[in-house]
Amino acid sequence: MNKFTEYIRKYGFRLAAVVLVVALLSGFSARGSQDGVGPFESGAVSLALPVKEGASGVVGWLEDIYGYMYRYDQLKAENRKLQTELDKAQAEIRRLKEAETENAKFRQLLNLREKHSDFTLESAYVVDRPSSNWSRSFTLTKGKESGIAVGNCVIDSGYNLVGQVSEVGSGWCTVRSVVDADTRVGALVGEGGSAAMIVGEFSLMQKSQMKLAYLADKTKLVEGDVIVSSGKGGAFPRGLTIGKVASVSTEAGGQAEYAAVTPLADLDGVSEVFVVKKFNVVE
């Protein structure tokens, strides 16, 4: 509200009283002229007429001002009510979105458990991503008390391989990510395809990629080929998606092909993961 309106609120009654007195005086003057008074009184009436007209204008102006202030207060109250209703609606929308996200998470977990009914899973959250030029790892919120052990593999809700537990403590564990230079995973080029090996490499780790090597003879790779875990060796379950071929190259001497593979797990953005504590080993 501006200063003029505040002034009217504070001094409006005084101003109205002054205007009322002026109006009464002009009224008396007018009545005297109607009763046939003398020249002096008639002159006073003539002088009072402009004042009377001005007073009427001021009264009308004051009525407009008070009407404006009344409407202003009404609009202000309505605005507060609408703002309150808007805040409630936005809070309800946020609640519904959170519920929808939670339901989607439960559906993914249920699907995960149904597809791999032999898995014993432990959910955990990523609380740290230590930065290093020599390794890529995560710290999770679960540890020994949850039955997690070194060597357990870690996946996301889409069956994508995230990494492998490398260290365990009380209430925490460290996961070596799938692109870490020390990673070794038996792999297949496509489900039931040619056997190979995913290995970590320092140069590719800087690009958040890993190397597909030790390909079987006559294996032909193309960009976009999906790489899954073979299950051989017992460290990882069979059929977990590891990544996609990003590029194909030839080793020095031109004797063997290898590929740079981009993981399908969002290593930089994943917040909840699942530790596979038990599964059926493929011989």
Per-residue confidence at 246, pLDDT binned at 50, 70, 90?
Answer: very high
Mean pLDDT of the chain: 78
- The Cα 225–Cα 22 span in angstroms is 97
Out of 100-114, 133-147, 150-164, 232-246, which region has the weakest mean confidence (pLDDT)? Answer: 100-114
DSSP annotation of 135 reads -
**Distances from the Cα of 158 to the Cαs of 105, 118, 125, in angstroms?**
11, 16, 15
Handedness of CA 89, 93, 94, 98 (dihedral sign): positive
> Which of the four pLDDT bands, split at 50, 70 and 90, describes residue 33?
very low
pLDDT of residue 71: 78
pLDDT at 243 over 90: yes
Tokens of 122: 């432990």
Which of 281, 164, 279 lies closest to 233 in space, CA to CA?
281
Query: Comparing 254 with 180, which gets the higher pLDDT?
Result: 180
pLDDT at 135: 86
Query: What is the value of pTM for the model shown?
Result: 0.60
Between 225 and 61, where is the model more confident?
225
pLDDT tens track for 175-223: 999 999 999 999 999 766 889 999 999 999 999 999 999 887 777 888 9
Position 112 scores a pLDDT of 56
Quick check: helix, strand or coil at residue 71? helix
DSSP output for 2-50: -HHHHHHHHHHHHHHHHHHHHHHHHHHHHHHHHTT--HHHHHHHHHHHH
63: left (phi over 0), alpha (psi -120 to 50) or beta: alpha
Q: Express each pLDDT in 85-104 by its tens digit.
A: 888 888 778 776 766 665 55
Confidence band of 143 (pLDDT split at 50, 70, 90): very high
User: pLDDT by residue (tens digit) across 114-124?
Assistant: 666 778 999 99
Whether residue 281 has pLDDT greater than 60: yes
Quote the pLDDT of residue 80.
Answer: 85
Closest CA to 137 of 108, 164, 157: 164
Q: What is the mean pLDDT of residues 45-58?
A: 55
Rank 10-24, 166-180, 227-241, 254-268 by mean pLDDT and report only the highest.
166-180
